[in-house]
Structure 1
């Protein structure tokens, strides 16, 4: 099989399974967001806080997502790192109305970004500035400033204002994530096939 045949085979548009870590402090809306992304017949009517973690699946136009919904309670956050190696993308959810804990969210994000299993990987990160329906919510631009997102230079990232209860802003975020997951996948496939010819 020639190089071009192998390349086209790897890059063919087909359903790809993607492992996504959904992180953020407790009560930021992670589980509500994931629930809203599921097909309507699979959505839960009652959302309860996640203890430990749960696994959910949903599909976009060309990708199948397996989402690890990690508890954001303080005593469970040390579990996050056990799933970093398997994660191919990250959704980080922030409660835009909780200004008091924005500093804690930034500390957790910094810890995540500096972890050895994340630090040197070009893993896409989607931020949801959630709970935009609440009166005390700050804009996604302000959330970006408070978390110093402009300092993230080595990973593609995007922030969306969202209202998880109504589902607003969620599709925009998933569309962005899908584009970057596929882009990174294509680049890795290309490098795996082409670089050996130059070594």
Structure 2
């Protein structure tokens, strides 16, 4: 207690709390959602299994904490995604950029469906084009064109970030840009806060 008093009077005081944002993370099974989030939290990746419902992780960054609600990507779970959108301030979509044509088409349809939902259609979104370390990975230009990201966004702010679990710096860079978008929107709404 004496230390805290000393810091408050003689130093800069305790560090200010980091802003927290609630985001929803979606993508097909096998896209790498759990692996990426687990590594961001510096947790062991030894026993990762596909998410069968949803999980929530508080992912710490230097200037913010993202409370990430990761939704399972299996066929029988995707139809329930919209039940978990409420309260989200942003969307993270993880894509297996080396997936089959059929899975890529399914991912495209799921992304379009999610971003047209009334609770998500105005939110900023981050697309992590995962598995860029695989030979069959599609380029960002191919993904951008195939997913029709420009017309899909319709004024939404978005980021398309190449990544892999082998290059967590790229993942952190994507999230850093995403947090900047969240902060911009947060600043725009400050006058209306109570």
Give me the TM-score of the superposition, normalised by structure 2.
0.85
Gaps of 5+ in 2: 1-15
Pairwise CA distance, 1:166: 3.9
Report matched runs for 1:30-179 at 5 Å. Answer: 30-38=33-41, 40=42, 42-100=43-101, 101-119=103-121, 121=122, 123-151=123-151, 152-179=153-180
SS in 1 for 2:79: helix
Count of aligned positions = 176
SS in 2 for 1:134: coil
SS in 2 for 1:93: strand
Aligned partners of 1:124 and 1:180 also within 8 Å: yes
Q: Which has the higher contact order (CA 8 A, sep 6+)?
A: 1
- The CA distance in 2 between the partners of 1:43 and 1:186, in whole Å, is 35
Query: What corresponds to 2:3 in structure 1?
Result: none
Which of 20-29 and 42-51 deviates more? 42-51
Give me the TM-score of the superposition, normalised by structure 1.
0.83
- The CA distance in 2 between the partners of 1:55 and 1:165, in whole Å, is 23
- The CA distance in 2 between the partners of 1:165 and 1:74, in whole Å, is 27
SS in 1 for 2:119: helix
Pairwise CA distance, 1:44: 3.6
